[in-house]
């Protein structure tokens, strides 16, 4: 039997073509998930998240590249492909040709923001922006009113409408930011959906009102009472339901489960927290105080204030040990201070305690995961362990200087680790897997910034490896608004779920606006002119039948639910059995298989989901059973995947 090749950085080796190793996959391709289970994308309790799954003991970069181009991806050593025609929220593979990438205004702002931060100013037009240590700022802007306060940071956009006065520009920007925070709270089910919620309005605060609203806080510039308006709207919705003699909201009404603790104060705190998690920029401190969202400028503190803040920080905020853990967001004006150093380091995927600690902080602060559920073993299996066989650099231009395989790309500012991206570098692409970052640096939009740097990396390394042309962004779910940012990297392409051809997003978008599942390669332009003949009636009928055979449990798809493949299609499937490699057609029934029909169904399913070409290249491993009663029997181990 083939040895288990799973490791941290993918050992070299192999008996494969070109010395790039051998792909060994385990497990029957089962369609797993639970029809009628909760869906993370549409938030529906009646969702249907179905995927094909395989476990890879080892995987060549060439085979994984081909799998990506058939809509597969990996999580550690687990390979999966969404069943697009049956899952409730189809996920389309998305990619971008790096050489064709066009930088948008927002992406240019992200780049300039980082440069401004490193230079000591976020304003490239010459205005002095004062950047506080985030922890210092939070201490300095503690409200002297009663009740708890929630703090976040927001920066006005540098691209505001020039025909408005500066205060009007700020108010317009901040209103939009609050509306986005409200929308984010709705998506996370913090606020109920399907209600006509009021739009946020932000007003300037006069010097007289400053003293009345927040005593002693001199840099209060703008305020919003949106929390009171939202609370009133939710209260009216509850009252209307009570008038209908329903003590609780239920059914499909998204007003359901309206929590009684949604008071103006709690709403204000949730909005401030949401703004912090969105992490667009910095420049204003947002303080939730008794239901009011107060926006405090941080660009006008006097030197005396700054000294006081630093003293306050030293007393009230615990310091992490070591210079790498000290906050590097320094208070500096455009006319002083040295430029901070940003290092972007690429290394093969290995476990680093510092990276794991950053991952833990990110998951707890940004995704609100339970700290007890974040384990080193879980992190290793997700972002460190890889089945990809490493391919070292060559001098013939077929492999980039770093080689092919799994890598961690770390972002370090003046010695402090601020972000880590897990990426796979393959013959045709850089595939972005996951990014985690320091919540203290949310204002730098590190997710967007890292994507720009990864695209640049592809462009730069195409010189060394001409085949390396694409940037793969994982999956795109059109019905999930949180994924819309992926299409901002333009011009992107989506993978047709039936013919596995790449289709421009501008062609796919109007189709996906009307239907979640679309055979994209049937169309070639905005006029929806046929690119290829329509899908055959047999295929359409088959897809319809599949959708009608769902039950409430994980299940193996029966023979009647799949195309029957003949001996010609499955005969050359490469099988691993008892340490040997042989073709399926060379297996003999007298070998003692308990259920030959079951085995044949497994092989047919494998060929159907990975394709005939890959099935003849990758070893499909059958394991010998430890059965005293039937020592000659073999089986294929079922893989599984559940969203």
pLDDT 10s digits, 386-442: 999 999 998 888 999 999 999 999 999 999 999 999 999 999 999 999 999 999 999
Task: Give the homologous superfamily in CATH for domain 92-104+340-496.
Answer: Gcn5-related N-acetyltransferase (GNAT) (3.40.630.30)
CA 127 to chain centre: 35
As a whole number of angstroms, the distance between CA 304 and CA 17 comes to: 69
- Which residue in this structure is represented by tokens 């993978």? 495
Alpha-helix runs per DSSP H in 317-438: 353-365, 376-379
Spatial CB neighbours of 600, under 8 Å, sequence gap ≥ 6? 570
**Do residues 290 and 265 lie in contact, with contact meaning Cβ atoms separated by under 8 Å?**
yes
**Do residues 123 and 332 lie in contact, with contact meaning Cβ atoms separated by under 8 Å?**
no
Alpha-helix runs per DSSP H in 224-375: 226-243, 264-278, 303-316, 353-365
What is the model's pLDDT at position 595? 72
**Do residues 59 and 25 lie in contact, with contact meaning Cβ atoms separated by under 8 Å?**
yes
- Which residue in this structure is represented by tokens 């927001």? 154
Alpha-helix runs per DSSP H in 373-473: 376-379, 446-461
Spatial CB neighbours of 404, under 8 Å, sequence gap ≥ 6? 61, 388, 390, 391, 425, 426, 427
* Phi, psi (deg, nearest 5) at residue 314: -65, -25
Show the low-confidence residues of the chain (pLDDT under 70): 1-19, 28-39, 41, 43-48, 122-167, 208-218, 240-261, 276-284, 298-337, 524-564, 588-594, 623-643
Mapping DSSP onto H, E and C, the string for 142-178 reads CCCCCCCEEEEEECCCCCCCCCCCHHHHHHHHHHHHH
| Prediction pTM value | 0.62
- Which residue in this structure is represented by tokens 């005293």? 628
**Do residues 64 and 426 lie in contact, with contact meaning Cβ atoms separated by under 8 Å?**
yes
What is the model's pLDDT at position 288? 81
In 3D space, the residue among 225, 223, 232 whose CA is nearest the CA of residue 195 turns out to be 232
Q: Is 195 exposed, middle or buried (0-12, 13-18, 19+ CB in 10 A)?
A: middle
Model confidence pLDDT, tens digit, residues 172-213? 778 888 888 888 888 777 787 777 788 888 888 777 666 665
Number of helices (H), then strands (E), belonging to the chain: the values are: 16, 22
What is the model's pLDDT at position 44? 65
* CA 129 to each of CA 158, 262, 376: distance values in angstroms, whole numbers, following the listed order: 12, 36, 40
User: How many residues does the structure list for the chain?
Assistant: 643
**Do residues 350 and 408 lie in contact, with contact meaning Cβ atoms separated by under 8 Å?**
yes
Q: Which helix (H) or strand (E) holds 295?
A: strand 292-297
Domain ranges for the chain, please list them: 1-90+560-643, 92-104+340-496, 142-297
- Strand pairing partners for 297? 284
What is the model's pLDDT at position 330? 32
């Amino acid at each position: 039997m083939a040895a288990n090749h799973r490791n941290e950085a993918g050992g070299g080796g192999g008996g494969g073509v070109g010395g790039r190793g051998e792909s060994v996959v385990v497990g029957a391709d089962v369609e797993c998930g639970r029809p009628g289970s909760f869906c993370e994308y549409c938030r529906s309790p009646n969702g249907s998240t179905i995927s094909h799954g395989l476990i890879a003991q080892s995987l060549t970069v060439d085979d994984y590249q081909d799998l990506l181009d058939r809509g597969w991806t990996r999580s550690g050593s687990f390979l999966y492909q969404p069943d697009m025609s049956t899952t409730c929220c189809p996920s389309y593979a998305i990619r971008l040709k790096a050489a064709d990438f066009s930088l948008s205004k927002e992406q240019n702002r992200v780049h300039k923001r980082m440069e401004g931060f490193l230079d000591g100013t976020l304003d490239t037009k010459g205005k002095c922006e004062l950047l506080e240590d985030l922890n210092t700022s939070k201490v300095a802007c503690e409200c002297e009113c009663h009740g708890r306060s929630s703090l976040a940071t927001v920066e006005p956009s540098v691209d505001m409408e020039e025909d408005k006065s500066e205060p009007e520009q700020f108010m317009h920007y901040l209103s939009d930011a609050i509306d986005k925070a409200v929308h984010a709270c709705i998506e996370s089910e913090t606020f109920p959906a399907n209600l006509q919620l009021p739009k946020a309005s932000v007003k300037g605060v006069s010097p007289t009102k400053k003293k009345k609203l927040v005593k002693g806080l001199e840099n209060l510039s703008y305020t919003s009472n949106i929390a009171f308006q939202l609370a009133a709207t939710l209260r009216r919705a509850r009252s209307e339901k009570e008038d209908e003699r329903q003590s609780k909201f239920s059914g499909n009404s998204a007003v359901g489960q309206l929590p009684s603790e949604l008071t103006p104060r709690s709403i204000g705190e949730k909005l401030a927290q949401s703004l912090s998690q969105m992490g667009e920029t910095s420049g204003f401190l947002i303080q939730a105080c008794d239901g009011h969202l107060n926006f405090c400028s941080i660009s006008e503190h006097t030197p005396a204030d700054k000294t006081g803040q630093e003293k306050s920080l030293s007393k009230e905020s615990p310091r992490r040990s070591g210079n790498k853990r000290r906050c590097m967001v320094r208070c500096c004006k455009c006319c002083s201070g040295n430029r901070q150093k940003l290092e972007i380091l690429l290394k093969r995927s290995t476990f680093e305690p510092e990276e794991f600690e950053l991952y833990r902080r990110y998951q707890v602060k940004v995704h609100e995961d339970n700290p007890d559920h974040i384990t080193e073993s879980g992190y290793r299996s997700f972002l460190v362990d890889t089945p990809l066989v490493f391919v070292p650099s060559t001098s013939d231009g077929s492999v980039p200087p770093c080689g092919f395989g799994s890598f961690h790309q770390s972002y370090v500012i003046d010695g402090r680790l601020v972000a880590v991206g897990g990426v796979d570098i393959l013959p045709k692409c850089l595939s972005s897997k996951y990014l985690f970052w320091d919540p203290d640096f949310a204002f730098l939009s590190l997710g967007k910034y890292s994507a720009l740097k990864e695209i640049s990396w592809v462009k730069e390394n195409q010189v060394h490896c001409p085949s390396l042309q694409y940037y793969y962004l994982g999956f795109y779910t059109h019905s999930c608004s949180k994924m819309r940012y992926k299409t901002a990297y333009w011009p992107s392409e989506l993978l047709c779920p039936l013919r596995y051809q790449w289709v421009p997003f501008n062609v796919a978008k109007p189709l996906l606006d009307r239907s979640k599942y679309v055979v994209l390669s049937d169309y070639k332009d905005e006029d929806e002119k046929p690119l290829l003949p329509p899908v055959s009636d047999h295929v359409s009928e088959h897809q319809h039948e599949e959708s009608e055979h769902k039950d409430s449990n994980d299940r193996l798809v029966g023979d009647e639910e799949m195309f029957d493949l003949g001996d010609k299609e499955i005969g050359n499937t490469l099988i691993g059995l008892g340490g040997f490699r042989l073709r399926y057609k060379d297996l003999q029934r007298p070998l003692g298989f308990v259920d030959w029909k079951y085995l044949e169904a497994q092989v047919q399913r494998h060929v159907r989901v990975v394709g005939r070409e890959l099935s003849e290249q990758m070893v499909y491993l059958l394991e010998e059973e430890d059965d005293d009663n039937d020592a000659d029997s073999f089986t294929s181990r079922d893989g599984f995947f559940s969203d």
